[in-house]
């Protein structure tokens, strides 16, 4: 698998998806640590300086395709597509860089407007069309119906219901879902 350059920014409905910049960090941190967001994350509250450093380093990582969703100058969400090796035999390189992990977050003030679906759809297009990935997975807590509905709207299939497989810093062990879609399935979706 050859990693290709991905062209940003991209217009997705009213949103502009683009790589994160230092000017975006404070906007994201204003809602990233909000209880309506952290209740659905394995890493709950983040320390601002560590978050800033890690997030900005992602821009230079060829395996990390993180974006912000800009709506008229306001960052209303984030998305990530991390490329990694699939499981495979030592012979051949078809499994190298063949899989992706998808994630998305939405500012609670902008929830329910379809932005998570738009971000995730655009990142799946990038993964399959621009990067030539074989498979993309995503996960969420089983109780996070808004997140798993996004995945199901996009044609991702629920492959796992992990009973108490996800540790939440404040809530303890919770059930989790894993979803996936193959490039051949994505190409067949309208």
Which tens digit of pLDDT belongs to each residue from 56-111? 888 888 889 999 999 999 999 999 999 987 776 565 666 676 899 999 999 999 99
Residue boundaries of the structural domains of the chain? 10-138
* pLDDT at residue 167 in the model: 87
What is the CATH class of 10-138?
A: alpha beta
Determine the 3-state secondary structure of 80 from DSSP: strand
Whether 27 shows a pLDDT value over 80: the answer reads yes
Distance in angstroms (rounded) separating the CA atoms of residues 24 and 22? 5
Closest CA to 42 of 179, 136, 172, 158: 172
What is the reported pTM?
A: 0.89
Question: Average pLDDT for residues 30-53, to the nearest whole number?
Answer: 84
Instruction: Supply the pLDDT for residue 98.
Output: 83
Q: What is the DSSP string of 148-171?
A: HHHHHHTT-EEEEEEEEEEEETTT
Mean pLDDT taken over the chain: 89
Q: Which run of H or of E encompasses 17? A: strand 15-18
- The pLDDT tens digits of the residues spanning 102-139 come to 999 999 999 999 999 999 999 999 999 999 999 999 99
């Amino acid at each position: 698998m050859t990693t290709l350059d991905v062209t940003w920014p991209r217009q997705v409905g009213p949103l502009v998806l683009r790589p994160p910049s230092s000017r975006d960090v404070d906007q994201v941190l204003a809602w990233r640590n909000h209880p309506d967001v952290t209740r659905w994350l394995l890493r709950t509250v983040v320390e601002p300086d560590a978050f800033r450093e890690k997030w900005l380093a992602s821009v230079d990582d060829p395996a990390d395709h993180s974006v912000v969703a800009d709506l008229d100058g306001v960052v209303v969400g984030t998305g990530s597509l991390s490329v990694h090796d699939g499981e495979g035999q030592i012979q051949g390189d078809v499994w190298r860089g063949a899989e992706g992990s998808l994630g998305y977050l939405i500012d609670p003030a902008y929830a329910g407007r379809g932005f998570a679906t738009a971000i995730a759809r655009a990142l799946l297009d990038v993964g399959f069309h621009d990067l030539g990935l074989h498979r993309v997975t995503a996960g969420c807590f089983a109780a996070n119906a808004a997140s798993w509905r996004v995945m199901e709207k996009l044609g991702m299939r629920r492959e796992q219901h992990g009973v108490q497989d996800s540790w939440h810093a404040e809530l303890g062990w919770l059930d989790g879902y894993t979803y996936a879609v193959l490039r051949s399935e994505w190409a067949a979706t309208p």
